[in-house]
Amino acid sequence: MLTVHHLGVSQSERIVWLCEELQIPYELKRYHRDPQVRGAPPEYKALHPLGAAPVITDGEVVMAESGAIVDYIIARYGDGRLAVPHDAANYPDYIYWFHYVNGTFQPAAMVDMILAHAGLPSDNLLLQAMAARLIRSVEAVDNRLGQADFLAGDQLTAADIMMVFSLTTMRYFNPFSLSGYPNILAYLQRIGERPAYLSAMAKADPGMPPLLA
């Protein structure tokens, strides 16, 4: 049985959402963060050497890294659904935005968050540079969503499954504004109308309103 080990308020929400969109059987195990340091509890850290979310288990398979997990689940249980075939015209868009999230966007948001809590003065050059990098990262997404309803075209794909956490739940940790990005806001409204997304969020983090605006 595929088991999704979900650490509350974390990137593992992506995997819960993926399973709900694919409508595949899975077991969800929820773990609560340490109330003092907001990190994973010992039983979660024991699942994988990284000690970070997400983690799945599937028989003898123990896997971390959300991108790898998404690929694994789509290939093994999804019959390729929510991926884009290599010979499709929109495959370059799909593969680019799938990897853009954890390659560019999420690191920019994480570093910006860390520096914001480091007590640096507002005129610190590193602080300013990383804030500007995050802005450029958000602008790129908004520009893309001005061209298509979803990142890979007119249908939701795993690239969107990867992206939405960084635009929503990540802002609980690093509250950057999306008020100047109308295409992203319209996109998040489309996401918020998906029954599978609403079901996933209710199961993963009950009582936490998704930041869709």
Chain segment 62-71, per-residue pLDDT in tens: 999 999 999 9
Please answer whether residues 47 and 55 qualify as being in contact, where contact means their C-beta atoms are separated by less than 8 angstroms.
yes
- Averaged pLDDT, 25-47: 89
- The label of the residue with tokens 């390659």 reads 103
Q: What predicted TM-score, i.e. pTM, was given to this entire model?
A: 0.95
pLDDT digits (tens, 9 = 90+) for 160-196: 999 999 999 999 999 999 999 999 999 999 999 999 9
Please answer whether residues 15 and 66 qualify as being in contact, where contact means their C-beta atoms are separated by less than 8 angstroms.
yes
The whole-angstrom separation of Cα 100 and Cα 157 is 14
DSSP reduced 3-state for 64:
strand
DSSP reduced 3-state for 52:
coil
Question: Residue 150: pLDDT band by 50, 70, 90 thresholds?
Answer: very high
Per-residue pLDDT at 37: 64
User: What mean pLDDT is reported for the chain?
Assistant: 95
Q: Where are the domains of the chain?
A: 2-82, 91-194
The whole-angstrom separation of Cα 205 and Cα 189 is 19
Q: What CATH number should be reported for the domain whose range is 2-82?
A: 3.40.30.10
Q: Which fold has domain 91-194?
A: Glutathione S-transferase Yfyf (Class Pi); Chain A, domain 2 (1.20.1050)
